[in-house]
Amino acid sequence: MFYAACCHSLLTMTPGAISTPISQRRKLRQRRRAPCPRSHNRMDPFEDTLRRLRETFQVGHTRSAEFRAAQLRGLGRFLQDNKQLLHDALAQDLHKSAFESELSEVAISQGEVNLALRNLRAWMKDEHVPKSLATQLDSAFIRKEPFGLVLIIAPWNYPLNLTLVPLVGALAAGNCVVLKPSEISKSIEKILAEELPRYLDQSCFAVVLGGPQETGQLLEHRFDYIFFTGSPRVGKIVMTAAAKHLTPVTLELGGKNPCYVDDNCDPQIVANRVAWFRYFNAGQTCVAPDYLLCSPEMQERLLPALQSTITRFYGDDPQSSPNLGRIINQKHFQRLRALLGCGRVAIGGQSDEHDRYIAPTVLVDVQEAEPVMQEEIFGPILPIMNVRGVDEAIEFINRREKPLALFAFSNSSQVVKRILAQTSSGGFCGNDGFMHITLASLPFGGVGASGIGRYHGKFSFDTFSHHRACLLRSPGMEKLNAIRYPPHSPRHLRKLVVAMEARDCSCTLL
Amino acid sequence: MKDEPGSTNLFTKLDSAFVRKEPFGLVLIIAPWNYPVNLNLVPLVGALAAGNCVVLKPSEISRGTEKVLAEVLPQYLDQRCFAVVLGGPEEMGQLLEHKFDYIFFTGSPRVGKIVMTAAAKHLTPVTLELGGKNPCYVDDDCDPQIVANRVAWFRYFNAGQTCVAPDYLLCSPEMQERLLPALQSTITRFYGDDPQSSPNLGRIINQKHFQRLRALLGCGRVAIGGQSDEHDRYIAPTVLVDVQEAEPVMQEEIFGPILPIMNVRGMDEAIEFINRREKPLALYAFSNSSQVVNQMLERTSSGSFGGNDGFMYMTLLSLPFGGVGHSGMGRYRGKFTFDTFSHHRACLLCPAGLENLNDIRYPPYSDRVQQLTRWALGSQSCTLL
């Protein structure tokens, strides 16, 4: 794996490979299969790539709006030109339906590209700020600057979206980018490695490949920003590595997203909404409702409703539905199959190893200590925990790590607002699933163990920009400064303090 | 504290979308000794305003202030949600083993790494206000007396123990010749003929830093000042010339009343010099030409930037204060502090009914439905509704 990664890196390092005719590609593939030379020192396959990108950044290549817009347009063309290829790859990796691929991967990514293109100049503009009396004649503003060399590490569950949406922000902000897609979603990884670089300027963009070992090696290098999407466990590793270089990070992690269902609800509506968000992408979604909290009475009403919904969505034989995904690999399939043994299967529970298929499942009578209530499920399994009301639900939720998302269903807006007010989470949705992440005007990120930082839309641009405070003063008018210089007097001090006060205060001296 | 509304797309037009600011929980503020009231209290304001509980760890080095903060401050706050903890590096290490919901640290890059590594174990977000060597470029096209006034004030304020003070000057040999007498004149104007007896000049915090600074006086050649008094921990306002880049005074953050001058042949060389080094917390450029000032701004990076003055921008609460690269991460002051200590929670409140509207998103799917959905998602800026 190391040799393959090493040679893959050699492949992505090839400068000027804008178009690679078939014969050349064949030669490159052959080169890839050949073993890399072993040296007595530990080989660093990334050093040359990173140096090249840094040098490009130093000369200011990525700074102009024109350049950034060209990169974003290139990204848009990549999505348009390769749409079918991408759909096929997503189907191969995760058995995603065309609908899911379009909605949650291609369209979202395209939307972010378009938003960034429309707003790029506005986002890049210096932000002028209110001044004090002392600085009235000066120019005070915040300048957005790229950090430099940015590393984006993406996961396998939405391998296009979670790679490209951060990339949009990083490019719009003027950075050079190293992209490390997940090696687990192999088909998409291949397209990102082989096709995507052709649409971008390769002097400031590279895709690097590999598994945990290569990622560890990569993280020893210094980056100016690291954007990571993945598990909390690996998030800690990334942040620890970043700390060695004082590199700022955004960590989009996960957790168990609670979904409270009040007694005052229409169970069929709740069932529709919860099921759609739970079983989307076969449950492999960081913001999916992870478990339900409701009273035993509500549970009795929900179960038939959920069964009805599942049949409506996926038919009597969900395994033959084109609209249900598959588990990414054997390891996760086995992990999920083991979870089916927790509590009691109320709906579903079937699995098929050859297909990596897990049926849309609902578990009841689960104990808090069981694995299904301990780890993030990340599969089409929905356990129901019984609580006696809102208070117990809130107390249960607050005993645990802050999740990435929290959901509350009730006809009473008071109940919804109470859950919102008395809990914390990355994001919150009342009476629906993760619809909130489709809004680029809302920041997307975690809190506590579910993450640090946020992105989407302008938040991505801001995440990948350093906001530099600037004050430009006149080289003359030195008399005005006299009151600040020693020897000091109380009179001067009084004048200075007044002059420093914010101009937009309610005092009307001037 | 108010919820900030967000714009909706077609799918969410009937919903309420907003960002809610929430406290993180238990916040740790670790403060340094150079502005021991300011750098404890200003972050504290933000942490309290954002609704957090706070543990304050003032520096044990600024003992007078530490005592007041430990004994008097808690009397003014609700002690169920505020505590001052005391101690040195060992106690701080112990403190950092605990889990906090936010850590705000002001200090050196070296300790910043330790804090961030400790924070990583608990996935605790951090703001690190660090330091560096803040370059100050002085163009040939300048009034040397004005520059001398401004640079000297910001350099010798608090006896140079300021993270945003100009750390070293970059100018041509010709400019240096004009600056030196101007700097001498300014220093005399500010502190008199015997600066040690001026009430307006600070002292070095402790013996360790005094000795460190006294050693730096041996770098290059003393052009102005150079006197020191161990009993008083006094270092005279000093200017060094003929310094080499490899000397300690050009390697470590000075944090004292010593100003070395490095010669460059023009703006390009200055920019190249600056960019070869770590990004500083502050960067200054003096020139009568606004083009020169803007070039310096464009072609470098730093936490913040001052054109034709020192850290005057610190007085503007509408500007964020923070570093970049080795000089730090995150920012604060004014509303930025409140935002730093708040989690911005994305919220969407949907109606419990109106389920028909959701039908188009449920399987089984059709092509037309896909088109419609794609359009509805992307409609955030359209004015149909």
A30-55 average pLDDT score = 67
CB–CB contact B306 A473 (8 Å): yes
By percentage, how much of chain B surpasses pLDDT 70? 96
Please report which confidence band the pLDDT of residue A35 belongs to, taking 50, 70 and 90 as the band edges: very low
Q: Which chain B residues are closer than 8 Å to A500 by Cβ? A: 315
Quick check: A34 pLDDT over 60?
Answer: no
Catalytic residue among A36, A286, A294, A342: A286
Would you state the pLDDT for residue A42? 54
Would you state the pLDDT for residue A435? 84
- Listed in order, strand segments (DSSP E) in B316-369 are 328-329, 342-349
Give the pair of three-digit tokens for residue A57: 């950044």
Give the pair of three-digit tokens for residue A180: 């490390």
Quick check: A508 pLDDT over 50?
Answer: no
CB–CB contact A439 B12 (8 Å): yes
Quick check: B366 pLDDT over 80?
Answer: no
Please report which confidence band the pLDDT of residue B377 belongs to, taking 50, 70 and 90 as the band edges: low
Angle B199-B201-B205 (CA atoms, 0-180°, nearest 5)?
115
Catalytic annotation on A286?
A: yes
Per residue in A52-71, pLDDT (tens digit) is: 999 999 999 999 999 999 99
Which 8-state DSSP code applies to residue A176? E
Give the pair of three-digit tokens for residue B176: 């240096």
Which residues on adjacent β-strands are paired with residue A438? none
Would you state the pLDDT for residue B337? 98
Quick check: A509 pLDDT over 80?
Answer: no
- Buried-exposed string A213-234: b where 16+ CB fall within 10 A, e elsewhere: ebbebbbebbbbbbbbbbbbeb
Per residue in B267-284, pLDDT (tens digit) is: 999 999 999 999 999 999
Smallest Cβ distance to A441: which of B6, B143, B312? B6
Quick check: B373 pLDDT over 80?
Answer: no
Question: How many angstroms away from the CA of B342 is the closest CA of chain A?
Answer: 10
**Prediction pTM value:** 0.93
Is A75 exposed, middle or buried (CB count within 10 Å of its CB: 0-12, 13-18, 19+)? buried
Q: Give the CA distances from residue B83 to residues A68, B60, B70, B126, in Å, rounded to whole numbers and listed in that order.
A: 48, 15, 8, 19
Would you state the pLDDT for residue A437? 87
Would you state the pLDDT for residue B379? 57
Our CA dihedral for A280, A284, A288, A293, rounded to 10 degrees, sits at 110
**A177 and A165 Cβ atoms separated by less than 8 Å:** no
Give the pair of three-digit tokens for residue B68: 């007041």
Smallest Cβ distance to A129: which of B117, B316, B353? B316
Would you state the pLDDT for residue B13? 73
Do you find a cis peptide bond into A248, omega within 30 degrees of 0? Answer: no
CA distance A2 to A21: 27
Give the pair of three-digit tokens for residue A223: 């980056």
Give the pair of three-digit tokens for residue A506: 């309610």
CA distance B317 to B334: 5
- Buried-exposed string A114-141: b where 16+ CB fall within 10 A, e elsewhere: bbbbebbeebbeeeebebbebbeebbbb
Quick check: A423 pLDDT over 80?
Answer: yes
Q: Which chain A residues are closer than 8 Å to B380 by Cβ? A: 115, 439-441
What's the CATH fold of domain B4-131+328-344? Aldehyde Dehydrogenase; Chain A, domain 1 (3.40.605)
Which residues on adjacent β-strands are paired with residue A292? A259, A384
Smallest Cβ distance to A443: which of B130, B192, B346? B346
A236-256 average pLDDT score = 98
Mean pLDDT of the residues in chain B: 94
Question: How many angstroms away from the CA of A116 is the closest CA of chain B?
Answer: 12
Quick check: B96 pLDDT over 80?
Answer: yes
Domains and CATH numbers, chain A: 46-254+459-465 (3.40.605.10), 258-448 (3.40.309.10)
Superfamily name with CATH number, domain B135-315 = Aldehyde Dehydrogenase; Chain A, domain 2 (3.40.309.10)
Quick check: A507 pLDDT over 90?
Answer: no
Quick check: B266 pLDDT over 70?
Answer: yes
CA distance A283 to A316: 19
**B303 and B280 Cβ atoms separated by less than 8 Å:** yes
Please enumerate in sequence order all residues whose Cβ is within 8 A of that of B77, keeping only pairs 6 or more positions apart, or say none: B48
Q: Report the complex ipTM.
A: 0.95
Residue in B with minimal Cα distance to A479: B146
Q: Which chain A residues are closer than 8 Å to B306 by Cβ? A: 470-471, 473
Q: Between β-strands B102-106 and B26-30, what pairing exists: parallel, antiparallel or unpaired?
A: parallel
Please report which confidence band the pLDDT of residue A504 belongs to, taking 50, 70 and 90 as the band edges: low
**Within a 13 Å sphere around the CA of A365, how many CA atoms are in the beta-carbon half?**
8
Would you state the pLDDT for residue A7? 36
Smallest Cβ distance to A269: which of B142, B355, B369? B355
Would you state the pLDDT for residue B367? 72
Please report which confidence band the pLDDT of residue A15 belongs to, taking 50, 70 and 90 as the band edges: very low
Quick check: A5 pLDDT over 50?
Answer: no
Question: How many angstroms away from the CA of A437 is the closest CA of chain B?
Answer: 8
Do you find a cis peptide bond into B364, omega within 30 degrees of 0? Answer: yes
Residue in A with minimal Cα distance to B348: A429
**A507 and A132 Cβ atoms separated by less than 8 Å:** no
Quick check: A194 pLDDT over 60?
Answer: yes
CB–CB contact A430 B348 (8 Å): yes
Please report which confidence band the pLDDT of residue A19 belongs to, taking 50, 70 and 90 as the band edges: very low
A445-455 average pLDDT score = 98
Is A63 exposed, middle or buried (CB count within 10 Å of its CB: 0-12, 13-18, 19+)? middle
Our CA dihedral for A145, A147, A148, A149, rounded to 10 degrees, sits at -150
Is A180 exposed, middle or buried (CB count within 10 Å of its CB: 0-12, 13-18, 19+)? buried
Question: How many angstroms away from the CA of B131 is the closest CA of chain A?
Answer: 12
Please report which confidence band the pLDDT of residue B370 belongs to, taking 50, 70 and 90 as the band edges: low
CA distance A128 to B367: 47
Would you state the pLDDT for residue A9? 38
CB–CB contact A145 B309 (8 Å): no
CA distance A60 to A51: 15
* Helices and strands (DSSP H and E) totals, chain B: 11, 18
Please report which confidence band the pLDDT of residue A21 belongs to, taking 50, 70 and 90 as the band edges: very low
Looking up tokens 């959920």 gives A306
Mean pLDDT of the residues in chain A: 91
Please report which confidence band the pLDDT of residue B354 belongs to, taking 50, 70 and 90 as the band edges: confident
> Which of A95, A132, A245, A441 has the most B C-beta neighbours within 10 Å, making it the best mutation to test the interface with B?
A441
A257-261 average pLDDT score = 98
> Which of B7, B316, B357 has the most A C-beta neighbours within 10 Å, making it the best mutation to test the interface with A?
B316
Question: How many angstroms away from the CA of A152 is the closest CA of chain B?
Answer: 17
**B358 and A272 Cβ atoms separated by less than 8 Å:** yes
Residue in B with minimal Cα distance to A114: B378
Which 8-state DSSP code applies to residue A107? I
Residue in A with minimal Cα distance to B336: A467
Which 8-state DSSP code applies to residue A444? B
> Which of A150, A402, A438 has the most B C-beta neighbours within 10 Å, making it the best mutation to test the interface with B?
A438
Quick check: A430 pLDDT over 60?
Answer: yes
- The angle, 0 to 180 degrees and rounded to 10, between the axes of the packed helices A390-398 and A413-422 is 20
CA distance A117 to A465: 16
Q: Which chain A residues are closer than 8 Å to B116 by Cβ? A: 239, 242-243, 246
Delimit the domains of chain B by residue range.
Answer: 4-131+328-344, 135-315
Question: How many angstroms away from the CA of B378 is the closest CA of chain A?
Answer: 6
B307-323 average pLDDT score = 95
Per residue in A94-118, pLDDT (tens digit) is: 999 999 999 999 999 999 999 999 9
Quick check: A38 pLDDT over 70?
Answer: no
Would you state the pLDDT for residue B359? 83
Hey, which residues of B are catalytic here? Answer: 129
Please enumerate in sequence order all residues whose Cβ is within 8 A of that of A433, keeping only pairs 6 or more positions apart, or say none: A273, A274, A276, A277, A278, A287, A288, A289, A407
B129-136 average pLDDT score = 97
Would you state the pLDDT for residue A479? 87
Smallest Cβ distance to B347: which of A142, A266, A420? A420
Highest mean pLDDT among A44-48, A500-504, B250-254, B361-365: B250-254
CA distance B185 to B195: 12
Quick check: B198 pLDDT over 50?
Answer: yes
Angle B118-B124-B125 (CA atoms, 0-180°, nearest 5)?
115
Per residue in B153-194, pLDDT (tens digit) is: 999 999 999 999 999 999 999 999 999 999 999 999 999 999
Per residue in A199-242, pLDDT (tens digit) is: 999 999 999 999 999 999 999 999 999 999 999 999 999 999 99
CA distance B31 to A40: 47
Looking up tokens 């009568």 gives B288
Count CB neighbours of B260 within 10 A: 23
Which 8-state DSSP code applies to residue B204? -
Per residue in A298-339, pLDDT (tens digit) is: 999 999 999 999 999 999 999 999 999 999 999 999 999 999
Per residue in B203-238, pLDDT (tens digit) is: 999 999 999 999 999 999 999 999 999 999 999 999
Quick check: A1 pLDDT over 50?
Answer: no
Q: Which chain B residues are closer than 8 Å to A413 by Cβ? A: 349
Residue in A with minimal Cα distance to B367: A99
